[in-house]
Structure 1
């Protein structure tokens, strides 16, 4: 199990109610599942995550399945919601 930081930007930060939090997970999917579980009281959070793109340790995840994206010890996941055109 790896530990690191999830950073929320723009609408993701607003939906989470925080700028960053720790993860304890092996994959991006696990980290996002944990974040969803921690923020169930925040109505828009899961929706914003579903529309966001991600950087893991500075590398774009793109269309890779989140279950296949391994997280590193001390790593960083950046949650980037759509910044323009439409709502996040």
Structure 2
């Protein structure tokens, strides 16, 4: 079971790729995997929104393996 993780802005720069496949049972597990795989995320990922198929969810949200997760850092502007 794997989900597609898409990175935007600073998250893409840190990950070094616009997208990758990951296997995780929950959003929290996915977050831990991303921190372990991309050490530069420790200062950015806690401030990022993780959207599962377009909806913001908490770390306990269960993943089925067919979702697209968007990692969106906070954006400045107005």
**How many angstroms apart in 1 are the aligned matches of 2:20 and 2:64?**
15
- Are the equivalent residues in 1 in contact too, given 2:23–2:65 (CA < 8 A)? no
- Are the equivalent residues in 1 in contact too, given 2:49–2:73 (CA < 8 A)? yes
- Structure 1 gaps of 5+ residues are none
- Are the equivalent residues in 1 in contact too, given 2:8–2:72 (CA < 8 A)? yes
TM-score (normalizing by structure 2): 0.86
Match of 2:53 among 27, 39, 57: 57
Deviations 1:36-80 (A, max 9, x none): 11112xx3x22111111111122122xx3x1x1111222111001
| 1:30 aligned partner | 29
TM-score (normalizing by structure 1): 0.78
**How many angstroms apart in 2 are the aligned matches of 1:20 and 1:35?**
12
- Are the equivalent residues in 1 in contact too, given 2:50–2:72 (CA < 8 A)? yes
| 2:58 maps to 1:79 | no
- Structure 2 gaps of 5+ residues are none
Q: Which runs of 4+ in 1 moved over 6 A?
A: none
- Cα RMSD (Å): 1.4
